[in-house]
Structure 1
């Protein structure tokens, strides 16, 4: 097989120029989309556009996970998926990767996250460092990942494109090895594919050949009042487009996700007016409202439980 060098890009690489990418001479890149449920990489478009102009023709995307339980994993997967679609129009079958670098991340939660990505139509990747690998049950994760990417640097990490395979991490299923954090002295992580699968998963992506778009996707049919738009999220909740204003009847928590386990953005006092654009009912009968926010990440609050409204609708 032909091994290929690729880079991963986050806000730390925002100053790389088109000429820098040409000097790096790579054809593949993995771009950071999000972290936890409160951060979206503000340089996504710039990183994709400049790297594509510099020769990159296949893209994958990653999320830095901070969850420590299954419920948080569901919320972070939704956040990753939603922002990938909204910010860069990520297509089905694209390789979407979980970056697992924190202590205390359960294997069960990794599986929940990867399963949510796969259920949403994406190829799935798992990334971690050799120092953390023993904390995960790789055999249990294997059925849910299409691509395994492992970081392990030699004592003196090389800066060139010739990794010393005497330091290759001895682990099963490795498709790509991240071997340096300073490729060609440009302060960008360098990795190399080591299996045919490692190349194929990239190349089979619908975002290969530089087709990742900086423009959000647009619905082919515009919804009308007689034909409201509905969709099902990764938690299995069915959302219905509806535009209105909800006035809180008492103090209500505004959260980053539509679950009571989601982090609280703020507590809204009684009489607060919330403009919402969709609603959904969860399995215990709570009606959640989705509030669009200027930072591109929606907020959520409970507007009704059963037949009892927690405020008034306008």
Structure 2
């Protein structure tokens, strides 16, 4: 199959490209060219800025694909542009969406908690919306206006050793370095998925017959208190947690007011089997702690 991936040079986008290549697909990546091409001649590379409609149209002209993955769509205008460009050029689009389409209100989220099919569209660019609203608007445009099948994959926090956002790394580094962390609710539970599993589900979403919104998350959830406890156990250090105040540097990117996690029952019913969170999260944290400890030792030497 011919596959186009918008954003495929880092984190789970890169893992997706690797998975497609392992399965002998003809892969094209579209990037701004700033991260290079880690795949060399194994893939075709198109260079275009997502925000420059003219260069995007030029880059995607005169070619068709069986599956298109869009990992870098953040607004309704982005969504509108891509479905216009891909009209007659693909048989399916997989859109990387997010848990942030749901409110953090303490209720375990299912796909029915946000229905893009009846959501009012407000057209605008990325800067016109919050991250969460931009993704809601993009979903609404894609599901209401695309002439081809669409899957919106709603990921929770994606983690891994190569996570460029370094949100889990933040907590490891702060605890290992005995620095304070400011949280809102230590008992709030969250869900996670690894970069490998995120890529695996995206691949599944492309080659299977599923359509519509799907939650994709490892099975299980963990409270922030227990997450910090795993880091404490791995590092032998005590977390210095504050629930009030703190400077900007201490603010946790996981500072949520209430439980914020989702069910993967719909995706599992469609045939995908997810990992158990508690099977891999401690191992990942141990690896990140070791990495941080080695960094500290090298700086001292």
- Settle same-fold status: TM greater than 0.5: no
Q: TM-score, normalised by structure 1?
A: 0.29
Larger Rg: 1
**Which structure is higher in strand share?**
1
Larger RCO: Structure 1 or Structure 2 (Cα < 8 Å, ≥ 6 residues apart)? 2
**Which structure is higher in helix share?**
2
